[in-house]
Amino acid sequence: MVLQITQETFDNAVQENVEILGLSETEAVEEAVKQFETQGVDLSKIIKDIAMSKQEFEEITAAVKKLEQLQKSKSSSESINATLEVLRTECERGLQQKVAAGKADAYFVLLNVFEAYKDKVVRGNTLKTLIALMTKQPDLLEDRGVDFIINNLKDHNEDPEIQRLLLRWTKECCVMHEMNRQKIFGAHFVDIIKSLLKDTTTVEVIREVLAVSRALVLDDDVRVEFGMAHEHARVIASETLCALMTLLSKFKGEEQLTQDIILTLTALMVRSEFCKKVEDAGGLDLIKNVMETFSNTDKIIRQCFKLIKALGGNDDCKVHLIKKGYVNILKECLSTSMENPATVVAGLAAVSALTLRSPENSKAFFEGGIPEVIVEAMKHYPDHKPTHKTASWAIRNMVSRSKYQNQKFLELGVEEILQQDLKKFKEIEYDIKAALRDLGCKVNFKEEWTGKGGALTSGFDRNENDD
Tens digit of each residue's pLDDT (9 = 90 or more) over 385-412: 999 999 999 999 999 999 999 999 999 9
Q: What number is the average pLDDT over the span 366-394?
A: 98
Interval 355-367: pLDDT, tens:
999 999 999 999 9
Phi-psi region of 271 (alpha: psi -120 to 50; beta: other; left: phi over 0): beta
Biggest distance spanned by C-alpha atoms of the chain: 89
CA 43 and chain centroid, separation: 23
Range of weakest confidence among 176-190, 233-247, 445-459: 445-459
| Pairing status of strand 455-463 against strand 444-452 | antiparallel
- Quickly count: other Cβ atoms within 10 Å of residue 197's Cβ: 20
For 324-360, the three-class secondary structure string (H helix, E strand, C coil) is CCHHHHHHHHHHHCCCCHHHHHHHHHHHHHHHCCCHH
Find out if CATH 1.25.10.10 is the number for domain 141-270: yes
Using pLDDT thresholds of 50, 70 and 90, give the confidence band for residue 461: very low
Q: For residue 316, what pLDDT is reported?
A: 95
Helix (H, G, I), strand (E, B) or coil at 309: helix
Helices (H), 425-465: 429-438
Dihedral of CA atoms 203, 205, 207, 211 in degrees, nearest 10, equals 180
Interval 226-253: pLDDT, tens:
899 999 999 999 999 999 999 999 999 8
Range of weakest confidence among 25-34, 134-143, 165-174, 284-293: 25-34
- Average pLDDT of every residue of the chain: 91
Element (H, E) at 279: helix 272-280
Helix (H, G, I), strand (E, B) or coil at 13: helix
Using pLDDT thresholds of 50, 70 and 90, give the confidence band for residue 185: very high
Interval 270-293: pLDDT, tens:
999 999 999 999 999 999 999 999
Does the pLDDT at position 216 exceed 70? yes
Amino acid occupying residue 221: D
Q: What is the pTM of this model?
A: 0.86
Q: For residue 464, what pLDDT is reported?
A: 42
Q: Which CATH class is domain 272-467?
A: mainly alpha
Q: What is the DSSP code string of 139-173?
A: GG--HHHHHHHHHHHHHTTT-HHHHHHHHHHHHHH
How far from 70 is each of 63, 77, 205, CA to CA, in Å? Answer: 11, 9, 31
Using pLDDT thresholds of 50, 70 and 90, give the confidence band for residue 435: very high
CB 30 within 8 A of CB 20: no
SS3 content of the chain, % helix, strand, coil (to 5): 75, 5, 20
Q: For residue 156, what pLDDT is reported?
A: 67
Using pLDDT thresholds of 50, 70 and 90, give the confidence band for residue 2: low
Share of the chain above pLDDT 70, in %: 94
Which one, of 93, 92, 90, 127, lies nearest residue 107 by Cα?
A: 127
The sign one gets for the Cα dihedral 325, 331, 337, 341 is: positive
